[in-house]
Amino acid sequence: MSHAETTRIGRGQEPASRRLHVDWTACDGRGLCAELLPELLTEDDWGFPVARGDMTVPPALEPAARQAVDRCPALALRLVSERPAPASS
């Protein structure tokens, strides 16, 4: 096995970096996500979720993150593996 292949396989075994995405046009601030994921989210003055960090989900919190995504009544929360597109006008 070549070094390059080892590196590739090694990378493949690492869990993909995942991130929470909020569709703000859908979120209505019910607050379930902040209750289910207090390690990552808190609430702002109006009950809308605020990231404690940069919304990256550590592997250990992925099950909890999936649960938060599934239980969002507005379907506003997603777990994604890519960076968001830069907004431009």
Partner 1 sequence: MTSVAEAPPGSSVESRLLADPAGTRLDVHLTQHGRLPAADLTQVIGMARDAGLTGRGGAGFPLWRKLAAVAATNRPAVVIANGAEGEPASGKDKALLAYAPNLVLDGLQLVAAGARSAVLYVPASAHPALARLLDQRRSAGLDRVPVRLVAAPDAFVAGEESAVASAVAGQGAVPADKLVRITDAGTLVQNVETLAHLAMIARYGPGWFRAAGTYDEPGTFLATVSGAVASPGVVEAGYGVALGDLIAAAGGATAPLAAVLVGGYHGAWVPADPRLPVSRAALTPYGGSPGAGVIMALPVGACGLVETARIAGYLAEQSAGQCGPCVNGLPRLASTLSDLAARRARPGLPAEVERLARLVTGRGACRHPDGTARLIHSAMRAFHADATAHLAGQCLAERSHR
The answer to whether residue 77 forms part of the interface with partner 1 (CB under 8 A) is no
The answer to whether residue 80 forms part of the interface with partner 1 (CB under 8 A) is yes
| 33 residue type, one letter | C
The answer to whether residue 27 forms part of the interface with partner 1 (CB under 8 A) is yes
- Token pair for residue 12? 């493949």
How far is residue 2's CA from residue 7's CA, in Å, rounded to a whole number? 9
Question: What residues between 50 and 69 interact with partner 1 by CB under 8 A?
Answer: 50
Q: Which of 2, 13, 25, 81 contacts partner 1 by CB under 8 A?
A: 25
CB atoms closer than 10 angstroms to residue 7: 10
- Contact in structure between 79 and 58 (CB atoms under 8 Å): no
Q: Residues in the site for partner 1, rule: CB under 8 A?
A: 21-29, 44-48, 50, 78, 80, 84-89
